[in-house]
Amino acid sequence: MKTISIANQKGGCGKTTTAINLASTLAFNGQKVLLIDLDPQAHATLGLNIDDGNSMYNVISKLTPRKLKIKDIIIKVDHNFDITPSNVLVGTLEQELAEEIGRELKLTEVIAQVKDQYDYILIDCAPSLGFLTVNSIRASDEVIIPVETSRFSIQGVDHLTDIINLIRDRLNHQVGSRVLITMFDSRLRHSFTMLAKMKEKFGGLLFDTIVHVNVKLKESAVIGEAVLKYDKYCRGAKDYLGLAREILTNDKVKIAEPARASRAAVNKAAEAAREAVIAAEDAPQAPQYEASQRMTELIKKEAAELVAAAQFQLSAPEAQSVYVTGSFNDWSLEESCRMSKRNGVWNLQLPLKPGVYKYQFIVDGKWQEDPQNQLTERNSFGDINSLIEVKG
């Protein structure tokens, strides 16, 4: 069992969105997950349409007239996904715990009652650095710090890191921390400038996964659902599935197949279809199977048009990292679009459906068109997009 706190004292950084959707995607991958809402604003509770009078206040407080155990307030959200709700009374725990002996261990003691029932326990922390957040970090094996690409977010990470280090030193509790970039707008050059600064500052602490700006994430919260249930094909669902898989891979847990095929799976299916076509063509054909022959020709045509290879190349010997992004991936920064360098030349081959695509290179965080490609068009930002035609 692993306990993960999701914390940042800065509001509006996607903390609760990450808590809800990471819990949902971990559950999708077969993990039994409990989400503890420890935020007095109860955004995770509201974001999942939970309406319950009980909360962690009834579990932790000694002053409550209705004392409960954590198992009494657990509510089922979905398959493999449970939550303990919050309400405004949770905020009073800050004052109550101030004079309590062993106050930093209260949540650890509570979690111990149910930890054997779950693979992951996620804690949506309060947007502060008070006793509740200290309790969460002390109870956790790891802290995920969601940050948007802004200067104030970087400062917020520094403050939270100080608290984590203090807990290591004073409470003799080892806890890891990772930084998750959220609300990333790949249409803005500023986003890539801040991304480069974050990579320079945090290095290996950064998740490879980046959560992009996506309206479906907001819409799903409004109706009280995780984005995976609301629209499993949207960018937000894809990003949080990627985050769950990255965590599970690091923890060496078996990963479930995604809801739709990856490009590699599409390539494999296309190759299998082509082999089936070849085998069908080589086999003796009887006259009565003329209809089947016509179907074989149709399959051959569809398989040929399913995917094709698009080759991208850029000479930039001094560059440290180069990505290609464009209309083929909704202008997103994806690890699958990171180019590899050989003898100063960056290359990448992408399987794409036949068609015309707009694209640009991102060289060390800076956008630029393809200098070797004369096919271009001006975009709405005043920049130049390069064009590539992919043929079947």
The reply to whether 127 and 170 lie within a common domain is yes
Does a structural domain hold residue 255?
no
The reply to whether 146 and 230 lie within a common domain is yes
Cα–Cα nearest to 111, from 8, 7, 2, 30:
2
Q: Give the pLDDT confidence score for residue 289 in this predicted structure.
A: 46
Distance CA 224, CA 244 (A): 21
Does a structural domain hold residue 340?
yes
DSSP 338: B
CB-CB contact of 65 with 152 (8 Å): no
In the chain, the number of structural domains is 3
Sheet with 33-37, strands from edge to edge, namely 75-78, 81-84, 33-37, 120-124, 2-6, 142-147, 176-184, 206-212
Q: Give the pLDDT confidence score for residue 305 in this predicted structure.
A: 53
CATH code, domain carrying 321: 2.60.40.10
The reply to whether 14 and 86 lie within a common domain is yes
Q: Give the pLDDT confidence score for residue 258 in this predicted structure.
A: 45
Contacts of 346 (CB under 8 A, 6+ apart): 313, 314, 315, 316, 319, 322, 339, 340, 361
The reply to whether 284 and 316 lie within a common domain is no
The reply to whether 208 and 297 lie within a common domain is no
Number of helices and strands (H, E) in the chain? 14, 16
Q: Give the pLDDT confidence score for residue 53 in this predicted structure.
A: 83
CA-based diameter of the chain, in Å? 91
The reply to whether 147 and 41 lie within a common domain is yes
Residue 286 class from Cβ within 10 Å (0-12 exposed, 13-18 middle, 19+ buried)? Answer: exposed
Residues of the chain short of pLDDT 70, as ranges, are: 254-307, 380-382, 392
CB-CB contact of 63 with 98 (8 Å): no
Distance CA 374, CA 252 (A): 46
Cα–Cα nearest to 360, from 336, 332, 340:
332
The reply to whether 296 and 340 lie within a common domain is no
Does a structural domain hold residue 146?
yes
Amino acid at 2: K
The reply to whether 131 and 241 lie within a common domain is yes
CATH code, domain carrying 86: 3.40.50.300
Does a structural domain hold residue 260?
no
The reply to whether 161 and 235 lie within a common domain is yes
The reply to whether 184 and 221 lie within a common domain is yes
CB-CB contact of 49 with 220 (8 Å): no
The reply to whether 239 and 301 lie within a common domain is no
Does a structural domain hold residue 349?
yes
CB-CB contact of 310 with 390 (8 Å): yes
The reply to whether 214 and 295 lie within a common domain is no
CB-CB contact of 179 with 28 (8 Å): no
Amino acid at 26: L
Pairing relationship of beta strands 81-84 and 33-37 according to DSSP bridges: parallel
Query: How far, in whole angstroms, is CA 283 from its chain's centroid?
Result: 47
Does a structural domain hold residue 124?
yes
Give the domain extent around 180. 2-250
Task: Write out pLDDT tens, residues 310-369.
Answer: 899 999 999 998 999 888 887 777 788 899 999 999 999 998 888 899 999 988 878 889
Neighbours of 164 (CB within 10 A): 21
CB-CB contact of 180 with 209 (8 Å): yes
Neighbours of 159 (CB within 10 A): 12
* CB-based burial, 220-251: b 16+ in 10 Å, e otherwise: bbeebbbbbbbbbebbbbbbbbbbbbbbbeee
CA distances from 302 to 277, 295, 306 (A): 11, 11, 6
Q: Give the pLDDT confidence score for residue 83 in this predicted structure.
A: 95
Distance CA 96, CA 270 (A): 63
